[in-house]
Structure 1
């Protein structure tokens, strides 16, 4: 009985640690909007999206070589390609969604779609059935996300919402497909391969959009901040957390990104934060606490 209790306690702690890693990764993601806002005027969302993957891949190559982690990946290469394709596709559809539907609406629909579709993919691919706490937490987080964006003034059409809907679905698919890749590989090695393959898929973007701004001091600073902090570190933390975290749960914890973005926008960019925004932040933070500290039973 004591051994069984110890094993259960260790498993619960692993799940809690995995949840915390995913949430920390989401907080690192939240810096991308603030860093992008500091980029030169010529910077387009498309180049920013491609640049962050390229810099992250180059950084992780150096990291893996320095740590002697670089080696052939032990993985299903078809699944690796699917994950990289989803990673590249998310960059395009997300930025198109923000452009077509507006920043507030595009962000709400994208991030709100992700945990729902992640639950679908988790059930299809892994037989994961979300706990009761997941439903409460996801509803609370999406509610908080909507409150954070109540002041958005963008107008959009129903057809424009197809882009952020696609972005949320693609990111959820990426989470589900990349989950198996870390079972026998380090998160840094997996993300190195994913970033490099995704960067290759996005090569055509460099032909159609201006990129000379990257060579300026400001451009280099933005590139390093986006690539290392808001991409390489963020994705590696999420990938490490996925080892001990259900796909749907990880997607809901990723809603910590707008939480961090709102705080950074207020502290760094001096954006206005009203009562609704404060309530939204509190709701998202509460949803994270529900998942991290009160894990429900998983029926599989």
Structure 2
């Protein structure tokens, strides 16, 4: 008898991109609850600076130890975009917002991120998704944002404006990061962006540090550490790799599911309520993600 070798079919880059992207989403899901815990005792500006410093030190160590490729001149613009979008402005906006509102409310605006990422992916990366992709992307985002507005009495508060500004610049940073990842690698892209922003973030951390660190509760310390180590570094290693392999627009849609993972984390660790309407929206949004993925 002839032995028949059984080999598993190779995993495509798009499938790998979805897997990496999903792992990134899981890590990011704890970002807003962690930030909410951190700003309970820390100044929002300090949280923004300190989380970047934590991630930046580790990122710089990896770049040095592994002798990573240095960015070229053509990488300067994307690098600035990533630094401003995901290292500075996005964390600052959510920190200001979550100083006032629960993380569950702020989390709803994350639903806009896939749409913003896809738009900037088209503008900067030359991607051209089909019309049906856009319809499902808009539908999924509208479900999330619509819920946020209805639950807030159809009002647009200052924290809401902070979140809208944040998701816009973050979408730009994600798209630029995908471009950098294709040339430098996922962890290299976010690490160089963190190093690039280190002087500013060290300055913010110094001037807005609390007068008495002993008065800070353990929950705030844990929130800050998670925001710096996981959400600011580890999550981006997975996320940028996923965007580069699977396509910015397609993989970016996975972030439509992030609000609902965040709800679970907020419920378990912060005691925030999760309504039946949130569960219903979750099912509808996941359906939009699946439909859009098939239409991309």
The answer to whether the superposition gives a TM-score over 0.5 is yes
Segments of 4+ in structure 1 off by > 6 A? none
Deviations 1:210-248 (A, max 9, x none): 435667682554333222222211111111111123323
Question: Does the 8 Å CA contact 2:39/2:95 hold for their aligned counterparts?
Answer: no
- Number of corresponding residues: 283
**Unmatched tracts of structure 2, length 5 or more:** 1-8
Q: Is residue 135 of structure 1 aligned with residue 135 of structure 2?
A: yes
Partner of 1:4: none
Counterpart in the other structure of 1:5: none
State the distance in 2 between where 1:167 and 1:94 align: 7
The alpha carbon displacement at 1:203 in A equals 4.2
Of 68, 81, 88, the match for 1:70: 68
Deviation at 1:259, TM superposition (A): 1.6
Residue 184 (structure 1) aligned with residue 183 (structure 2): yes
Aligned partners of 1:43 and 1:213 also within 8 Å? no
1:3 aligns with: none
- Secondary structure class of the residue paired with 2:53: helix
Please give the TM-score of this superposition, normalised by the length of structure 1.
Answer: 0.78
Q: Any stretches of 5+ residues in structure 1 without a counterpart?
A: 1-8
Q: Distance in 1 between matches of 2:206 and 2:134?
A: 43
Whole-angstrom CA distance in 2 between matches of 1:32 and 1:105: 14
- Alignment partner of 1:129: what SS? coil
Return the offset for 1:147.
3.8
Equivalent residue runs for 1:1-300 within 5 Å: 13-39=12-38, 41-66=40-65, 68-74=66-72, 76-87=75-86, 88-97=88-97, 106-108=106-108, 110-131=109-130, 132-144=132-144, 146-147=146-147, 151-152=151-152, 156-157=156-157, 162-206=161-205, 208-212=207-211, 218=218, 220-291=221-292, 294-297=293-296
Equivalent pair of 2:31/2:231 in contact (CA under 8 Å): yes
**3-state DSSP class of the match of 2:270?**
coil
Return the TM-score normalized by structure 2.
0.79
Deviates more, 1:229-238 or 1:129-138: 129-138
Superposition RMSD in Å: 3.3
* Residues 259-283 of structure 1, C-alpha deviations (whole Å, 9 max, x = no match): 2111112233333222101112223
Distance 2:177 2:294 in 1: 23
How far apart, in 1, do the equivalents of 2:263 and 2:48 lie? 20
